[in-house]
Chains A and B, each alone.
Chain A
Amino acid sequence: MLSKKDLENLAALARLRIDAKNEKKLIQDLEKILGHFNELKNVDTQNVEPMTGGTAFTNIFREDDAIGGGLDKTSALEQFPEKKDGFLKIPPVFSDKGGFVLDEE
């Protein structure tokens, strides 16, 4: 029910590489787990409202103000592996080559 191609597609979506040697076992495990879920097909859920979270509260509002001042710039920057001149440094997200290409500099 879960093909090698399906797994490759899922891995690509999740930005994961799957070791070829683990592939077979992983497919088996996932199929077994997904197979267990089939029992839910027997449950009548017509007209049942989905439970979408851990709480019944909805629309929690507050003033749109920063609370407690937040992190200062230095410690915020430390949360990122690459920075330059007080800015975060990240590789280009888009490039004219149509994909993810790092600035050579």
Chain B
Amino acid sequence: MAHLHDLTLKSFHAGLLRKDFSALEIARDFFDYIDLHDKKIHAYLSLLKDEAVKQASEVDVALAKEGELGFLAGAPLAIKDNMLIDGTQTTAASKILENYTAAYDAAVIGKLKAEKAVFLGKTNLDEFAMGSSTENSAYGATINPYDESRVPGGSSGGSAAAVAANMALAALGSDTGGSVRQPAAFCGVVGLKPTYGAVSRHGLIAMASSLDQIGPITKTVEDAAILFQAIRGKDEFDSTSVNNAYEDILEPPELEKIRKLKIGIPKEYFTNDLESGVAEAVEQAIRNFKSLKIEFKEVSLPHTKYALSVYYIIMPAEVSTNLARFDGIRYARLKEAEKAKNLLEIYLEQKSRGFGAESKRRILLGTFVLSAGYYDAYYGKAQRVRRLIKNDFDSAFKEVDVILAPTTPDAAFKLGEKTADPLQMYLSDIFTIPASLTGLPAISIPVKKYSLADRELPVGFQLIGRPFREKDILDLGQFYEKIGS
């Protein structure tokens, strides 16, 4: 089964058309491989074997009949367990949804079904996507495939670990403050957070609605482009989704064109917070880009240091509102809440027993910043500083086309290292949060052949683009992958 390591979405598609293998063979190989390895890594919360076998067989039949199929036909994907697949259990890694079965498909799932993709299973996450290590899952942590003693990052840690450990060809994650990019960086894979509005959020269990965005986690930048192209687009069920001109997104990038792009280096990201090994790795990536004769310029994003505070006010405010719906009246009720004598008791039993510690902390924090007397000082203030952060990027994009920065201040940390101190955990998001607050597209790409001197751990860097210019960062990323390190 060694071939699973070599497959990408692109080469799988080519192999399928060449009849090197059938979609069913590959799906079965993946399940065998998952059975062997996932006991240790725990990337998956549930597997969809019967459905996947059916989907893959249908692809083989269609291929025999039509001789041609779309890029994603038969491609075995992993889906973060906060996206709904009709008729399957969807938990968001929370005990509160342990009895919940989805009644419809998320918009992205509908699109992938139309492309005849195969869903291997649902992956682990921090409960309701709230965390940076996947340790907040009610069903146990996922571990980093590079080092069993370390976290895979979060919240899409299951999706990133599944791709990194060859237990899926590619995956979907969701990114609210870095939840696609940070685990991608920790697991040595590619993670794209599209522009806010590029992908429909319909059927994604809402965490913070002004920030949430679904994105691909893949082995290569080209694969990220393929998966992004399949899931993007306007959807009537998400009024913030838009149809933008992306016709050229899968066109092969041209060196002539990307040489016209100017890359900005924001000095505020290269501070003492950045671990020296990570800084060195990012410098290496910059040197690689310079070898392509791409122009660099230092830029300033002066409000960067406030992004963490702004995020941890706005996000919990939205969380406290969004999670209010899990009241035991809708979706599912816990056994413990069955004995409740009245409505208030159902609410109390359901929420107190169903939500984990981090969810409760964020609900309380959100309730606090939205409460009378504090609203202006916290929530109102944060919204204004969010605007200033956006203005910083707007000014920078007058001088440059793309911004390059580290994805994380450090490589994957130890399991349990930050669980006792929530603020320390939050600080691991400092470099991914700004692109989330501003809705900008950003991709994390592993630094080529780089691992920290003292530890065999991958390091990622980020390319942040102008709104709806995923093409710029995807093209640059594809060229980066082609050059020698």
A residues bordering B, Cβ < 8 Å?
A: 2, 7, 10-11, 13-18, 22, 26, 29-30, 32-34, 36-37, 39-41, 43, 45, 48-55, 57, 60, 62, 67-68, 71, 75-76, 78-82, 90-93, 99-102
Tell me which of B343, B347, B351 contacts A92 (CB under 8 A).
Answer: B343
Which of chain A's residues have a CB closer than 8 A to the CB of B345? 100
B242 adjacent to A30 (CB under 8 Å): no
Q: How far apart sit A67 and B237, CA to CA, in the bound complex (Å)?
A: 8
Which of chain A's residues have a CB closer than 8 A to the CB of B313? 37
Task: Decide if B253 is an interface residue (CB 8 Å cutoff).
Answer: no
Q: How far apart sit A81 and B332, CA to CA, in the bound complex (Å)?
A: 5
Which of chain B's residues have a CB closer than 8 A to the CB of A82? 329, 333
B368 adjacent to A17 (CB under 8 Å): no
Tell me which of B103, B209, B309, B360 contacts A39 (CB under 8 A).
Answer: B309
Which of chain A's residues have a CB closer than 8 A to the CB of B210? 52-54
Q: How far apart sit A15 and B381, CA to CA, in the bound complex (Å)?
A: 26
Q: How many residues of B contact A (CB 8 A)?
A: 69
Known: A55-B240, A60-B239. A14 touches B363 (CB 8 A): yes
Known: A10-B368, A33-B423, A67-B237. A57 touches B242 (CB 8 A): yes
Task: Decide if B34 is an interface residue (CB 8 Å cutoff).
Answer: no
Task: Decide if B330 is an interface residue (CB 8 Å cutoff).
Answer: yes
A11 adjacent to B364 (CB under 8 Å): yes
Given A30-B368, A54-B197, 16 further pairs, Cβ under 8 A: A16-B355, A30-B364, A30-B365, A33-B312, A39-B306, A43-B306, A45-B381, A45-B384, A48-B384, A48-B385, A57-B242, A62-B239, A81-B332, A99-B342, A100-B345, A101-B342
B343 adjacent to A40 (CB under 8 Å): no
B314, closest chain A residue (CB): A51
A10 adjacent to B371 (CB under 8 Å): yes
CB distance from B423 to the nearest CB of A (A): 5
